Structure 1
Amino acid sequence: MSEEAPCPCDPARSYARCCGRWHAGVQHLQAPDAESLMRSRYSAFVLGLGDYLRDTWHADTRPAEAIAFEPGLRWLGLEVRRHQAQDADHATVEFVARCKHSSGRATRLHETSRFLRQGGRWFYVDGDTG
């Protein structure tokens, strides 16, 4: 993506200054908090960055198989509803992500995700949908 392209997680921000810095470079995988990691993971889904998604998924809950991306799926937007730190190493982020399938059917994913900081890095653990 270009330096000034809008970030998939927030079109008001540039990709380079938002999620792009977590996806590549010296800060790779170093999102400073759970919300930043969640946003970068949403952007990774939009951009098809399967390696990033696996690398930011906690080893205890990471699927054994590669991340599969649905052909023709278009992500339409992200709304972060709440970011809550339980302590220095545990946090939750509630969000709604909207997408459109190649069939034309629109879907909303409403999830409260759990995150864990380990060795100074945040990881996605799992989430409850609903």
Structure 2
Amino acid sequence: MTMRVSVVLSVLLLIQFWPGEAEKFSVDGKVLILDDSNFDSAIASFDHILVDFYAPWCGHCKRLAPELDAAAPVLATLNKPIVIAKVDADKHTSLAKKYDVEYVSVAIPLYDLLKLFLFLNN
């Protein structure tokens, strides 16, 4: 499947579950791309969102990316859908700092790079 088809399918999947919200965000594969300008909006827009704080140079992050891409459509179809998003922690250091994402060493896998944000809309 080409990247263009994959992106189109991802956007269609997001629109199905969150009409009016998907067009606010860029998509990489099936994962939303967040940054300083749209992070708060994404957190407020979705009841359940899993955010991957990654570094482009990180081997562990590179290996996790296709797994998140595969999980995104599955999690979007749950009774309580979960959106998967990612933030480049090297570029957006203020977000990484705000959510206590730290790099100890490239040799030590970090398990705090994924943050789950759960909100209940009344």
TM over 0.5: no
- Give TM-score, length-normalised by structure 1: 0.29
* Bigger proportion of residues as strand: 1
> Higher relative contact order by CA 8 Å / sep ≥ 6: 1 or 2?
2
